[in-house]
Amino acid sequence: QVQLVQSGGGSAQAGGSLRLSCAASGPRHDMTCMAWFRQVPGKKREGVAAVFRGNAYSTSYYASSVEGRFTIAEDNAKNTIDLLMNSLKSDDTAMYYCAAAHGGCMDWTISSAFQYWGQGTQVTVSS
């Protein structure tokens, strides 16, 4: 059974940085695609970044709104997936969720493609 436990986040000034961490437990084959989503009230959940965890390689994907500012990073020793967020903007304010799916990351921007979810972590960026 896959479990995803999130930590990190909080508040930052615009231009600052925050780090989110997702500790994953369970069969790796159920977590070959891992992603971070975010959601603000009244809007649908938005894919922010994802990583395909192949046997021989990893591939990362980013939404255009965060590319160059956010980095999704694996720590295989700790079995965590981190989201490093730099140059934060007020538009980054949202509840952030870690997600996992088996298979590839072809549909990584679609929340219904993910079977497992973390509990959510609030990120607030003030200008």
pLDDT in tens, the chain (127 residues): 999 999 999 999 999 999 999 999 999 888 999 999 999 999 999 999 999 998 888 999 999 999 999 999 998 888 899 999 999 999 999 999 999 999 889 999 999 999 999 999 999 999 9
CA distances from 73 to 55, 123, 126 (A): 16, 18, 25
Using DSSP, state whether 114 is helix, strand or coil: coil
| pLDDT given at position 123 | 98
Instruction: Name residues whose C-beta falls within 8 Å of residue 122's C-beta, 6 or more positions apart in sequence.
Output: 9, 10, 94, 95, 96
SS3 content of the chain, % helix, strand, coil (to 5): 5, 55, 40
